[in-house]
Amino acid sequence: MRGYYTADQVRAAEAPLLDKLPDGVLMRRAAYGLARVVADELCSRTGSVAHRSVTLLVGTGDNGGDALWAGALLRKRGVSVRAVLLDPARAHRSGLDALLKAGGRVAAEVGSPDLVIDGIVGISGHGGLRPDAAELVGQVEAPIVAVDLPSGVDANTGAVDGPSVTADVTVTFGALKPVHVLAAPLCGRVELVDIGLSVGEPAFGSLDPAEVGALWPVPGAEDDKYSQGVVGIVAGSEQYPGAGVLCTGAAVTATSGLVRYAGHGAAEVLARFPEVIASETFQAAGRVQAWVVGPGMGTDDDAARLLASVLATDVPVVVDADGLTLLAQRPELVAARTAPTLLTPHAGEFARFTPLGDDRIAATRALAERLGVTILLKGHTTVISDPGGEVLVNDAGGSWASTAGSGDILSGVIGALLAAGLSPLEAGAVGARAHALAANIAAAGGQSDVAGAPISASPLLGGLRESVRVLRSFALD
C-alpha cells in the first residue's frame, strides 16, 4: 500500500534527524535526489545534461535551499544555472553561496531555460502564490520540476486558493504527502527521494495494483454461482431504463456469481444481459448478499418507499444517485442499520448531506462517522472512508470516466464486490480502481500506447473485463 503523510507527520519525522545530523546534511540529501531527477529529466527531454540551462525560482524557505543546493550540483555537471530570488535578503544563505561558488548566477528574469525548478513555497505554505511569484511563474514556458509540491497548492488538502504552479514532475522527500494524490494533475509525475526518514503509520493510503488484483474475487474449486455472491440491483425506471442496464451490466461483468434485477427496466436488462434473473418488484427479487439501490430510480414517494425497504434488509447496501437524494432528506433510514452501508456521492450529492469544503479527506471522514456508513466521494481522486475513520484513495489517472452513466457502472461493480464478501472500504477502493482503469482502457481503444478519445458509459462498461484482467495480472506476477 502507498501511504500519504501530513505536513506535521513529516516535520515530526525530520526533527530527530535534524538534531542528530550535522547542520545542512538533510537538505543536501534532498538536493542530491532533486538534482538527479532534474538531470534525468534534462537527458530524456534534450538528450544531454551538459550545456543545458535551468532556472531556479527560489523562495525563502527550505524548498528554496533545496533548489539552490541542487542548482550547485547541476552546475558541476555542466548545466547553466540561474536563480531568481523572490526575496534576496532572506534567501537560504549556504545554498546560495554553494550555487555562486559552483558558477551559478542570480538573475531577475526567468529567461528561456530548458527546465525550471519551482522552489518557491514548501509544505508549510498556505494559499495561492503572491503576485510577484505568480508573475514569475506566468513567464515560464519550459517544463517545471517542483520541489516537494507545486507552489500554491496546499500540502494537506491539495486545495488551490489562487495562482499556483502546474508541474511536469514533483520531487518529494522522505514521504508522499496528501497533495501528491489529491492534486495529482498539478503534480505531474511524482518522484520520491529517500532521505532517511522514519515516518510510521500514514494518514491514509491507496491500494497498489497488485493489492487490488489480489482482492478481486476469483471462483475456487468448490464455488458455485451462489457461494460467489448474489447481488441485487434496484435501479432504472420507465423514464431512465438505461441506468438499470448499466448498473446491472457492471455487476454481471464484475462477478462470476449471480445478479438479480428488480425494477421497471426488466425487459431492457434481459435484452442486454439474459443471464440476469429479473423481476418487476423488489419483493419478488429473492435473496441476495448485497443490494445496489438508486441509479435512475426517481425521487418520488414510491421511490422513497422502495429505498426504505432496501435499507430495512440485513445485507450490505450501496446507495447511489437518486437514492442519495432521497437519503439526504431522510438520513435516519441508515441510523438503525446493522449491516454495512456504502454511499457513493459526487461532490454535488455530498453537499446535500453536509458542506464539502477544501479538505475532502476530513469532510468524508466526518460524514462517514456521523452517519455510521462508508462514504465513497467520487472525483479525479476518489476518497473512501469507513465509519472508524480509515481512509483509502484512488487517483483515476485521467478524467475519461466523467461521463453520464459512469456512476451507475461504479455502483454495480461495488455491489458485486460487497456480495462476494469484501468489506465496504475494500469494495469501494477496489471498485474505484477497476472503474478508472476501465475508462482509460476504453478511451485508448483497448490499447496502452495511443492517445485517448472521449467515451460514453457503454465503452467504459466494455473495458471493465479487461481492467480486471490487467489488475489480476499484477497480483500473479
Q: What's the CATH number where 295 sits?
A: 3.40.1190.20
Is residue 256 located within the same domain as residue 296? Answer: yes
pLDDT of res. 453: 85
What residue has cell string 485517448? 452
Is 63 a known ligand-binding residue?
yes
Report strand pairing: 204-206 vs 2-4: antiparallel
Q: What is the separation of C-alpha 416 from the centre of its chain, rounded to a whole number of angstroms?
A: 22
Is 382 a known ligand-binding residue?
yes
Instruction: Give the end of a domain, one of 182, 203, 224.
Output: 203
Is 415 a known ligand-binding residue?
no
Nearest Cα to Cα of residue 60 among 121, 138, 125: 121
Backbone angles phi, psi at 286, to 5 degrees: 95, 180
Longest dimension (CA), the chain: 81
> 435 with 410: CB under 8 angstroms?
yes
| DSSP H/E element including 193 | strand 189-193
Is residue 14 located within the same domain as residue 33? Answer: yes
Q: Give the count of domains, the chain.
A: 2
Is residue 11 located within the same domain as residue 131? Answer: yes
Q: Take residue 80 and report the three cell numbers written for it.
A: 547553466
Is 378 a known ligand-binding residue?
yes
Helix, strand or coil, per DSSP, at residue 179: helix
Is 379 a known ligand-binding residue?
yes
| Helix orientation angle between 457-476 and 424-443, rounded to the nearest 10 degrees | 110
Is residue 173 located within the same domain as residue 264? Answer: no
- The residues, any chain, with a CB within 8 Å of residue 41's CB and separated by 6 or more, are 115, 143, 145, 168, 169
Is 348 a known ligand-binding residue?
no
Is residue 154 located within the same domain as residue 174? Answer: yes
Is residue 86 located within the same domain as residue 116? Answer: yes
pLDDT of res. 452: 73
Is residue 294 located within the same domain as residue 189? Answer: no
Burial label, 397 (beta-carbon count in 10 A; 0-12, 13-18, 19+): middle
Q: What is the CATH number of the domain that holds 28?
A: 3.40.50.10260
b/e per residue, 209-225, with b = 16+ CB within 10 A? bebbbbbbbeeeeeeee
Is residue 289 located within the same domain as residue 432? Answer: yes
How far is residue 148's CA from residue 171's CA, in Å, rounded to a whole number?
Answer: 5
Is 402 a known ligand-binding residue?
no
Is 407 a known ligand-binding residue?
yes
Is residue 278 located within the same domain as residue 131? Answer: no
CB atoms closer than 10 angstroms to residue 195: 20
The pLDDT tens digits of the residues spanning 132-151 come to 999 999 999 999 999 999 99
Instruction: Give the end of a domain, one of 148, 168, 203.
Output: 203
Is residue 123 located within the same domain as residue 56? Answer: yes
Is 408 a known ligand-binding residue?
yes
Average pLDDT, the chain: 95
Is 388 a known ligand-binding residue?
no
Is residue 147 located within the same domain as residue 266? Answer: no
Is 151 a known ligand-binding residue?
yes
Is residue 165 located within the same domain as residue 69? Answer: yes
Is 264 a known ligand-binding residue?
no
Q: Take residue 296 and report the three cell numbers written for it.
A: 435512475
Q: Once rounded to an integer, what is the mean pLDDT over residues 76-90?
A: 97
Is 128 a known ligand-binding residue?
yes
Is 177 a known ligand-binding residue?
no
What are the C-alpha distances in Å from 416 to residues 234, 426, 433, 470? 13, 12, 14, 18
446 confidence band (pLDDT: 50, 70, 90): low
The pLDDT tens digits of the residues spanning 21-77 come to 999 999 999 999 999 999 999 999 999 999 999 999 999 999 999 999 999 999 999
> Edge-to-edge, what's the strand order for the sheet holding 115-119?
105-106, 80-85, 53-58, 115-119, 144-147, 169-173, 189-193
Is 65 a known ligand-binding residue?
yes
pLDDT of res. 126: 87
The pLDDT tens digits of the residues spanning 267-293 come to 999 999 999 999 999 999 999 999 999
Is 223 a known ligand-binding residue?
no
- Domain of 176, in residue numbers: 2-203
Enumerate helices (H) and strands (E) in the chain, giving the number of each: 18, 18
